[in-house]
Amino acid sequence: MSSVDRASLEARLSAQGLEASAWSNLSGERFEQHAHDYDKVVVAAEGSITFGLSGYGVGFVLTPGERLDLPAHIEHDAVVGPKGVTCLEAHLPAGTLGTRAKGRGYRW
């Protein structure tokens, strides 16, 4: 699947009390290793992006309809896939997603 209905993804996030904003990046763009002081929920709407979780030996390739829950203070990097990416992202207070040791990705 190359894309999903963005409006339905936004509605699902909203139903969970999440206020998401959209962002897009071009193919091959990279985000160097960093962390946030807030919990983050990312859902891919178009294209793909790979998140690497430093120190955990895990990575997640998000494609349309897939979601990553990333707790605060988890070091991560990311590389945008060959067709670029558009994601919906919501921020939550640190600790809202629980105390998982690492992010959790899943088909949503």
Q: For the domain that residue 23 is a member of, what is the CATH number?
A: 2.60.120.10
Does 72 reside within a domain? yes
Number of domains in the chain: 1
Question: For residue 98, is pLDDT > 80?
Answer: no
Does 98 reside within a domain? yes
Average pLDDT over all residues of the chain: 89
Q: Over the stretch 18-66, which tens digit does the pLDDT of each residue have?
A: 999 999 999 999 999 999 999 999 999 999 999 998 777 778 899 999 9
Does 85 reside within a domain? yes
- Distance between CA 84 and CA 57 in Å, rounded? 24
Does 91 reside within a domain? yes
Q: Which domain holds residue 100?
A: 6-107
Does 14 reside within a domain? yes
Beta bridge partners of residue 92, listed in sequence order? 39
Does 1 reside within a domain? no
Does 11 reside within a domain? yes
